[in-house]
């Protein structure tokens, strides 16, 4: 879709009808992760989000595949070599290694119990986004991770979604929000928009992303 073509609610609803089955199937896959995943699987999703930040979902997927042989045991140099096709591969390898060591030392790498231990959705995301030893994860990628492992009610406010909301008049700022307060404000706008058009926010999030990219990935 050209960025110069205005997006209207009828446009989006028509796209929703054509992609509804795929969107709902993808969300069901995310729920299954929450129901069945062990801590390694959750860590893979966290690594995906570290790699996808400022890059792309496809790059994140390829990066996780490349890292699988050394994800739990590799050092920074080995990981960087596996990620040489990824933007800022040396820095991201360091982020992954530091985060892995922190989760091992502080939580015995029990991500399943860690993620389930928070009393409410905001506390869960705040922990991921603001803990300094979880590297490369801000509010967008913390939301992205939680959505991908089956939690609902989080908006993944990347440049594509923010661009559409801005063009439709639901956000004043066209740049992706940074910091907790701006992120929550933009997420509230996404929730209001979803309510207005009568669709669940989790489905609208994927709908807007696919409207810009042509794909329903993760």
Over the chain (218 residues), what is each successive 10-residue block's mean pLDDT?
Answer: 63 93 96 96 97 88 93 94 90 96 98 95 97 96 97 94 92 91 96 96 94 84
4 is catalytic: no
Q: Which of 132, 140, 159, 218 is catalytic?
A: 140
What interhelical angle do 139-148 and 180-197 show, nearest 10? 50
Q: What is the pLDDT of residues 75-89, one digit of tens each?
A: 999 999 999 988 899
Q: Is 215 left (phi over 0), alpha (psi -120 to 50) or beta?
A: beta
Query: How far, in Å, CA of 118 to CA of 104, rounded?
Result: 19
**Tokens 């389930």 map to which residue?**
116
- Give the model's pLDDT for residue 3: 46
Tokens linked to 134: 């979880």
Query: How far, in Å, CA of 144 to CA of 171, rounded?
Result: 20
- Please name each of the domains of the chain with its CATH number: 9-31+155-213 (1.10.1670.10), 38-148 (1.10.340.30)
Q: State the pTM of this model.
A: 0.93
Half-sphere exposure of 143 (CA within 13 A, CB side): 22
- Give the model's pLDDT for residue 4: 45
> Rounded to the nearest 5°, which phi and psi values hold at 88?
55, 45
71 and 42 in contact (C-beta within 8 Å)? no
Q: Which of 38, 158, 173, 192 is catalytic?
A: 158
Tokens linked to 99: 């985060």
140 is catalytic: yes
């Amino acid at each position: 879709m050209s960025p110069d073509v205005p997006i209207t609610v009828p446009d989006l609803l028509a796209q929703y009808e054509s992609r509804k089955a795929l969107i709902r199937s993808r969300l069901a896959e995310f729920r299954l992760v929450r129901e069945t995943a062990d801590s390694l699987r959750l860590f893979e999703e966290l690594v995906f989000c570290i790699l996808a930040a400022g890059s792309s979902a496809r790059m994140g997927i390829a990066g996780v595949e490349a890292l699988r042989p050394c994800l739990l045991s590799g050092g920074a140099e080995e990981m960087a070599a596996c990620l040489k096709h990824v933007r800022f591969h040396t820095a991201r390898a360091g982020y992954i290694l530091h985060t892995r060591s922190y989760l091992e030392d502080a939580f015995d790498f029990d991500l399943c119990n860690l993620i389930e231990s928070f009393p409410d959705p905001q506390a869960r995301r705040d922990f991921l986004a603001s803990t300094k030893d979880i590297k490369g994860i801000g509010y967008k990628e913390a939301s992205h991770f939680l959505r991908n492992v089956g939690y609902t009610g989080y908006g993944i406010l990347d440049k594509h979604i923010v661009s559409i909301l801005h063009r439709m008049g639901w956000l004043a700022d066209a740049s992706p929000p940074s910091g907790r307060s701006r992120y929550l404000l933009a997420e509230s706008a996404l929730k209001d928009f979803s309510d207005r058009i009568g669709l669940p926010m989790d489905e609208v999030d994927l709908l807007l992303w696919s409207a810009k990219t042509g794909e329903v990935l993760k």
